[in-house]
């Protein structure tokens, strides 16, 4: 067995050991975030939505993500024992989806005021248009002080979040015959156009709501 494979297998074994605590944290995080947002959820108009979704990063995605963070995108077998999946910021993740944008701002305000998130670091996702605010708000940190890993919280519009789900499975985790889609310049242009159109739709929707108030 080659040395690089040994590093990856050790990380896969680490993942198996982490899974029970990852699952507990995911359950707690989703339950408690829903509770924190309950007052906003209960006041939604019929056309408005606030949805909390959660996921555990799977084993192969975690190993790949850690590999990509290394110099030249590969593990140094001489440093094999020093690698740990706990250095990733998002082994556990939840995404709060909101529609329309004014609800997104409410969700963000409530969660940023939550004491347990006060020490979390932000790593917001830039819009395709640099003159626009971030397309998504991302934070990572320890939900439970005893956790050996960090969790990630994303706050994003419902429309963009649902598009990302399609994009992720079709472009970034495609079937073998679609490999290379993520590096396609023309596909990236279409992808950016969709995101821009969704943002413009949301902005116009909010504008018309405000005009009607």
pTM here is 0.87
For residue 147, CA distances in Å to 26, 35, 44, 188, 208 come to 11, 21, 34, 37, 45
- Whether the predicted pLDDT of 183 surpasses 80: no
Lowest mean pLDDT among 101-110, 114-123, 153-162, 183-192: 183-192
Answer whether 150's CB lies under 8 Å from 89's CB.
yes
Q: What is the pLDDT of residues 17-70, one digit of tens each?
A: 999 999 999 999 999 999 999 999 999 999 999 999 999 999 999 999 999 998
Which SS3 state, helix, strand or coil, does residue 129 take? coil
Other C-beta atoms closer than 10 Å to the C-beta of 35 total: 10
Percent with pLDDT over 90 in the chain: 60
The domains of the chain, with CATH numbers, are 3-158 (3.30.460.10)
- Whether the predicted pLDDT of 180 surpasses 70: no
Percent with pLDDT over 70 in the chain: 92
Query: Quick one: average pLDDT of 122-132?
Result: 83
Answer whether 172's CB lies under 8 Å from 182's CB.
yes
């Amino acid at each position: 067995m080659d040395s690089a494979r040994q590093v990856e297998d050790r990380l896969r074994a680490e993942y198996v050991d982490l899974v029970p605590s990852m699952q507990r944290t995911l359950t707690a995080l989703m339950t408690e975030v829903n509770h924190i947002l309950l007052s906003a959820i209960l006041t939604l108009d019929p056309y408005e939505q606030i949805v909390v979704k959660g996921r555990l990063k799977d084993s192969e995605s975690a190993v790949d993500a850690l590999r990509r963070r290394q110099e030249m995108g590969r593990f140094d077998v001489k440093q094999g024992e020093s690698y740990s999946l706990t250095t990733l910021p998002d082994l556990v993740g939840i995404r709060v989806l909101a529609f329309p944008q004014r609800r997104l701002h409410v969700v963000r305000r409530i969660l940023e005021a939550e004491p347990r998130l006060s020490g979390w670091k932000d790593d917001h996702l830039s819009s395709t248009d640099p003159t626009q605010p971030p397309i998504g708000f991302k934070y990572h940190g320890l939900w439970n002080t005893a956790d050996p890993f960090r969790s990630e919280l994303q706050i994003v519009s419902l429309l963009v979040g649902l598009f990302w789900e399609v994009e992720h499975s079709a472009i970034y985790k495609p079937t073998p015959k679609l490999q290379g889609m993520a590096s396609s310049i023309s596909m990236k242009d279409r992808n950016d156009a969709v995101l821009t159109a969704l943002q413009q739709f949301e902005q116009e929707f909010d504008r018309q709501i405000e005009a009607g108030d």
